[in-house]
Structures are given as C-alpha cells and as structure tokens.
Structure 1
Amino acid sequence: MKKIIDRNGRLFGFISVIDLLVIVVVAVMGFALYTKNTQMAITSTNTADQTITYQILASGIRTYVAEAVREGDQLFDPDRSSGGTLGTITDIQLMPGTKLAEFDDGTVAAAPVEDGVDMLITVEGTGLVSQSGRYTLNRVYELGVNSSRTFCTKYAEFIGTVTEIF
C-alpha cells in the first residue's frame, strides 16, 4: 500500500503538493477571468434616444457674439469635445441686454448693458430621459435646469444658463 504523501513530499509519488496547489490556484484564477469576461450580467437596456428640447439664456453678451449664432448651428461644450453635439439651435430670441449689478445701498438688480443683448436659445438634441427626471444628451452629457456652462458653436462661444427643459 502506497502512502498518500511520500518522504519527498510528493502526492502518490508523482507530483509535489506545492506544485499541485499552484496548479489549482492558476486554474481558479483562469476560471474567474473567463467568467468575468464572458458571463457578465446585462447592465444596459435597449432604449431608444428621445428628442430633448431645452432653452439656454445668455445674459449680457456682446452683440457681435449674438450675431455669430445662427439657427441650424450645432451647439457644443468646449470642455467635453468627445461627447459630440449637444443639439441643433432651432430658435433664437434677442432681448435688451442686462446683467446683475450691485448698487451702493447693497441691493442687487438687473441693470442694462451697453452694447450687449440677452439671447434666449432653443436647442433640440437627442438623449435619454430617465424615470427619475434626469436628462442625458448623447448618453454622456448631463443636462439640468439652472446649470451655467460655457457653450459654443462653430463661430461663437458664450456662457449660458439652462432655463427650461421640455
């Protein structure tokens, strides 16, 4: 009758116990990698993009900047160039320019701006609308009301605030 482990530390006289442990660890790690890379649970759903229409207010911008923005232009975020377009400008409304100003008595009010206009832009883009009311343009760009960001078109750059999402 043979011993299970002989004097040289071999299992049944053929393979070392340490070698066997290394083979088992490598096999378990290989199985774990295979399972991770091929058996992942479905994390995304097959949802179609929806049309998202929103408005941006740019206050007190220079007149020449407003004249460079046209209906039909694509809107971008210069900080996120890889995200693609934020949509197409469908409507532009120009109003007399105002900026918030602080007066000597400590009050703050909208004051007229010389050589400036307020521009209300309506933009139509595509993205996801979650059930919790979150909007994601191009599946990567979070859109929220009252968020103030730098926007740009092919010929103009301005700071605007998202005022409404339809």
Structure 2
Amino acid sequence: MKKIVDEKGKLFGIINVVDLIVLLVILAVAAAVLWKLFGNTVTSAMSGKTEFTYVVKCTEVDASLKEILEEQKLPQQLMSSGSYVNGSLTKVEFAPHMVTALQQDGTVMTYEDEGTVDAYFTITASVDSRTLTFPVGSQEVRVGKEHIVKTRYIELEGFILSVDIAE
C-alpha cells in the first residue's frame, strides 16, 4: 500500500504539497476573476423576464382631462423621478363616475357625477423572473395598492384593480 505523502514530500508520489497549495490558489484566483468578468452576463442570460399587465383605476378624474387622455398616442413609456421605467401605458378606458348618497328619508341614491369620470389605465411591464415582487420604477405592483400613473404627459393617482402575470 502506498503512503499518502512519500519520503520526498510528494502526495501519492506525484506532486509536492506546497506546489499543490500554490496551484489551488492560482485556480481560485482565476475562477474569481472569471466570475467577476462574466458572472453577471451568465446570471442575466439564465434569468428570463416575467411579463405582467395590471389595471389602475383613477377615480374622479376631471371630465375636461378625458379628451386630452383620449388623444394620447399609445403605448407610452412610464416615468419615475424624471427617468423612463420598465412599463408602458397601453390602454385607457373611461366610465362615468357614480356617486352614492344617503337621502334624508334613509334611502340610498346613486347618480352620475357630470363633472368627473373614472379612468382605467392598462399597463404592461416586465421584471426579472427571479424577483418576488413586481416593481415598476420605485413602485411595487399589488392589487389594492395606491399607484401613480406617470408618463411624459400625464400624472394621475389611483389604485391597482388587477394584476395578470403572463406564463
């Protein structure tokens, strides 16, 4: 049976222990340099993008803005803090804004508010498929959460009605 380290200090009679340690250090440094240079490229190539669409409802939008919003060319890139972000406004729809009031006799009456409309913005975005949340700029997309719809030409506040994730 062979000894692990022979009388000349070689492992299995093949390589010196000091030489082996130097070789392992050189390989570790080379691997670290390669990872630093190409690691992000490999990681981003392996991770895909997750596409999702969400709808934001903005209530009580002044009726005079309806015409302006209808004239906007779509899609429009979303913005945050003066920079474009990873989402686009793809569709705008309107509905009359309905107001519910309690009458003096106790009955509930619902009527259309002539001066305002409700706007529904459909937005499409994509995120890194490794993320657990759906960030669009500095805002996270979740149903029920307040959301600012901001493009180069408009900025309105609303809340998120639905989120559909493309499979």
| TM-score bracket for this pair, using the shorter chain length | 0.5 to 0.7
Identity %: 19
Instruction: Rate the CA distance shift 1:148–1:141 in 2: closer, same or farther, 3 A.
Output: closer
Is the counterpart of residue 160 in structure 1 residue 158 in structure 2?
yes
**In 2, Cα distance between the equivalents of 1:117 and 1:110?**
15
CA distances 1:50-76 after superposition (whole Å, capped 9, x unpaired): 222111111120123233333222233
Matched with 2:76 is 73
Distance 1:48 1:107 in 2: 55
Q: Distance in 2 between matches of 1:108 and 1:53?
A: 36
SS of equivalent residue, structure 1 residue 154 = coil
User: Unpaired runs of 5+ in structure 1?
Assistant: 1-37
1:96/1:118 contact within 8 Å kept: yes
Are the counterparts in 2 of residues 128 and 136 from structure 1 also a CA contact under 8 Å?
A: no
* Runs of 5+ consecutive residues of structure 2 not aligned to the other structure: 1-31, 34-38
Match of 1:84 in 2: 84
User: 2:65 aligns to what SS in structure 1?
Assistant: helix
Higher helix proportion (structure 1 or 2): 2
Aligned residue number for residue 18 of structure 1: none
Q: May I ask how many residue pairs the two structures share in their alignment? A: 123
Equivalent residue letter for 2:89: I
Are the aligned partners of 1:86 and 1:137 in contact in 2 as well (CA < 8 Å)? yes
| Corresponding residue of 1:9 | none
SS for the counterpart of 2:85 is coil
Give the direction of change, closer, same or farther, for the CA distance of 1:75–1:112 in structure 2 (3 Å limit).
Answer: farther
CA separation in 1, counterparts of 2:131 and 2:58? 29
The structural deviation recorded for 1:104 is 6.3
Q: 1:1-166 alignment to 2 at 5 Å?
A: 45-46=43-44, 47-69=47-69, 70=72, 71-76=74-79, 80-81=80-81, 84-98=84-98, 103=102, 112-129=112-129, 134-137=133-136, 141-166=139-164
1:126 alignment partner, SS class: strand
Contact 1:65 1:156 in 2 (8 A): no
Note the C-alpha offset of 1:129. Answer: 4.7
